[in-house]
Amino acid sequence: MIAHTAQLDAATLDAAAALLRGAFLQFDDEDWAHALGGMHALVHEGGRLVAHGSVVQRRFLHGGRAWRTGYVEAVGVAADVRRRGHGTAVMAALETVIRGAYELGALSATPDGWPLYRSLGWQSWRGPVSALTPAGRVRTPDEDGAVFVLPVTARLDPAGELTCDWRDGPLW
């Protein structure tokens, strides 16, 4: 199932937030807030929500311009049903949204997620990454190697600099 945040009832949103808190060692209200306002991909098994991911719009700077970016957030699968294709199903739904609405897809992943994203054709960003902050452009070296992109119409130099827009909390 894929739906916009506005189409999901409170119980579904609460279940998704609970799933993600269980799937990650650190997942707080700010992380959840980043996942809202866009499209959610949800996988149910036996009436239970077992996988979630969302894509929200952001602007990334690269090659002298701003790119309309579908940014993937909060992809998680319940521990007891992992390795059954649920993460792939979530990403397939989100990629449909990205390919239909954005110039570029992007995400930041933990090392546990890297094999999934690589297997789906996402490219590891090799260049430096930074964030456009109220104080100007600031390097975010902790994200080097963790950012993946899915070019749609964007012409990218994966060895160049990629800068994400500002938001409260974790920037990537």
Q: Indicate if the pLDDT at residue 42 is higher than 80.
A: yes
Nearest to 20 by CA among 10, 7, 33: 33
Q: Indicate if the pLDDT at residue 150 is higher than 90.
A: yes
What does the pLDDT read at residue 159?
95
SS (H, E, C) the chain: CEEEHHHCCHHHHHHHHHHHHHHCCCCCHHHHHHCCCCEEEEEEECCEEEEEEEEEEEEEEECCEEEEEEEEEEEEECHHHCCCCHHHHHHHHHHHHHHHHCCEEEEECCCCCHHHHHHCCCEECCCCEEEEECCEEEECHHHCCCEEEEECCCCCCCCCCEEECCCCCCCC
pLDDT in tens, 83-129: 999 999 999 999 999 999 999 999 999 898 999 999 999 999 999 99
* Mean pLDDT score, 33-61: 97
What does the pLDDT read at residue 163?
98
Q: Indicate if the pLDDT at residue 25 is higher than 80.
A: no
Q: Indicate if the pLDDT at residue 46 is higher than 80.
A: yes
What does the pLDDT read at residue 112?
87
* Mean pLDDT score, 66-87: 96
CATH 3.40.630.30 is right for the domain spanning 2-164? yes
pLDDT bin (cut points 50, 70, 90) of residue 49 is very high
Give me the percent of the chain exceeding a pLDDT of 70.
100
pTM value is: 0.95
pLDDT in tens, 133-149: 999 999 999 999 999 99
- C-alpha triplet 113, 38, 100: angle, nearest 5°: 80
**CA distance readout (Å), 166 to 21, 65, 91, 136, 155:** 24, 16, 24, 10, 22
